[in-house]
Amino acid sequence: MSNSYDEVMARKSEIMKKSVGIDYSIFESGSIAFDYERMMKETGYSLQEIEEIQKQTSVGSTPLYELKNITKLVRKFSSPGKGARIFIKDEACNPSGSFKARRAATSVYHAQKLGYKGVIAATSGNYGAAVASQAAMRGLKCIIVQECYDSRGVGQPEIIEKARACEAYGAEVVQLTVGPELFYSFLLLLEETGYFNASLYTPFGIAGVETLGYELSMDFRQREGKDPDVVVITNAGGGNLTGTARGLIKAGAFDTKIVGASVNLEGLHMASDEQFNKKSFTTGHTGFGIPFATWPDRSDVPRSAARPLRYMDRYVTVNQGSVFYMTELLAQVEGLERGPAGNTALAAAFSIAQELDEDKIIVVQETEYTGAGKHILPQLTFAKENGIELIIGDPKEEIPGKNIILPKNPGYMHTTEIDLDKIKRSYIKNCIANYKVETVTENDLEFLAQDTKSSKEYVINVLKDLNVNVER
C-alpha cells in the first residue's frame, strides 16, 4: 500500500467510513439531493440525549449576560427609539473555554460508545482543545492535527496557544506548515491508529451545538418572557450557525432571525504560504465562511451536517480592526476579558443593534477564552511584526493583509452585507458542477430549496440562468 498523496486521497472514502462509523451512502439519492434530516436523526442523538451527554462532562448551561454599557454606547449612535439590547452567552465558561466543547462532547461520547481507543481532529481552532479536553474526561487518546506555521517556521500566536492547550489536556499535537494537504496527513493518521474521526462536520458535532440554541430560547423565555429577536453567530465552517439555528427551531423560536457574521479577509488566499501570517484571525473569517457556505461538502466528511444557508437570514462581514476594538471594549466597559475570535459576532451586533428598536433583543451566542497568544495584544503585536499597519480611522478603508483599522470611535463600527442571493446561486451552481448533473430531479429541487432557505420557484429560476433542465 503506497502512501503517496494521490493514493492516500484515493482511499479517502474507505478511511472515512471506518473512522466515522457512518455509511453516508444510505442517505444519498444518487443525484444532488440527500436526506439531511434523516441523517441527523439516524446517526445523531436527540436533543434530550445530547443534554444528558453534555451534562456528564459539565458542558453547556453557560451564563447569559446583558451588555448594558455596550447597549448604552450603541444608543449614543442610534436614531431616537433605536438601539436594541445586546446580550452575550458566555460560552467561554465551557470546560475547554469555548462553545466547541458542545461539538466535541457528543463526538467523543460516541467514539467511546463504539469502542474506539482514541479520537483525531484536524483543526487549528478551539475545537482541538475541546476534543482533547473531552477525551481526557472519557479516558480516550487524542491527536490534533494543526495547520500552524509558514515555511519560515513562524506560527500564528493564536494557533500556537491552541496547540499548548491541547497538550495541556494530554493530546499529541501534530503541527504542519500551510497547505490543504493537512487532510492527507490526517487520513494517514486515521489509517495508522484506527481512531475515531471527531470531525467538526458529522451529525454528532452539529447536533452538539443544538443545545446552545435551545438554551438561548429557554433562557430568554424565563428571563424576558420571549425569544430573542436576532441571534448573531460568528460564521466559518457553518456548524455554529447550523447547530444554534436548529436548536432555536427545536425550541419553537421560529421568529428569531439568524445573522451570520465573518471577519472580512477578502483578497487573502487561505492556502498561500506568504499570506498565512498576514491575517490576524485564524477562524470566523470569510476565507472559511464563503467557501463553506457555497460548498459545505468540501469538509472532511462526505456530507457535511453544517449547512449554513439552510438557516441564515442575513450574512454580514466586519473588519479585523472592529473585532479587536470590540474585544477591548468588552473588557473595558463590561469587565469581560475574552478572546478576540469569539467577538466577531459582537462587532456585528453593535452595528445591527442600531437598526432595531430599543425593546428588541439581539444576542451574541458565544465568547471564547483568552490567554497568551489568543489576545488582542499578542495578535496585534504579531500583525505589526508581519508588516501590517495598525491605524485608528475608518474601518471601511481596511485592506486585509495590508492594514488593520480600529474605529476612531464607536460610531465608525459598521457591517457590510454579503449578498445572500449571490451566495445561494453560487451554491446551486457548485451542486450542478460537482455532481455533474444535467437534469435536476423533483427531489433535487426540494432539497435545493431547503438547503438555500428559498423556494422551488427560486431554484428553478437560478437553474434557468444556468441552462440546467428540470425533470417534470
**Residues forming the site for another protein (CB under 8 A):** 4-5, 69, 72-73, 76, 118, 141-143, 148-149, 151, 153, 157, 160-161, 163-164, 167, 170-181, 184-185, 192-193, 269, 271-274, 324-325, 328-329, 331-333, 372-373, 375-382, 384, 390-392, 406, 409-411
Least distance in angstroms from the C-beta of 176 to another protein = 5
Least distance in angstroms from the C-beta of 79 to another protein = 17
Least distance in angstroms from the C-beta of 192 to another protein = 8
Least distance in angstroms from the C-beta of 400 to another protein = 16
Scanning the structure block, which residue is given the C-alpha cell 492547550? 165
Least distance in angstroms from the C-beta of 337 to another protein = 11
Closer residue to another protein in complex, CB, 128/247: 128
Closer residue to another protein in complex, CB, 331/460: 331
Scanning the structure block, which residue is given the C-alpha cell 464607536? 410
Provide the 10 A C-beta neighbour count for residue 284: 29
User: 37: which 3 cell numbers?
Assistant: 434530516
Least distance in angstroms from the C-beta of 116 to another protein = 13
User: 243: which 3 cell numbers?
Assistant: 447547530
Least distance in angstroms from the C-beta of 289 to another protein = 19
Closer residue to another protein in complex, CB, 76/464: 76
Closer residue to another protein in complex, CB, 50/74: 74
Closer residue to another protein in complex, CB, 210/398: 398
Least distance in angstroms from the C-beta of 22 to another protein = 24
Closer residue to another protein in complex, CB, 266/446: 266
Least distance in angstroms from the C-beta of 100 to another protein = 20
Closer residue to another protein in complex, CB, 164/360: 164
Closer residue to another protein in complex, CB, 14/192: 192
Closer residue to another protein in complex, CB, 296/407: 407
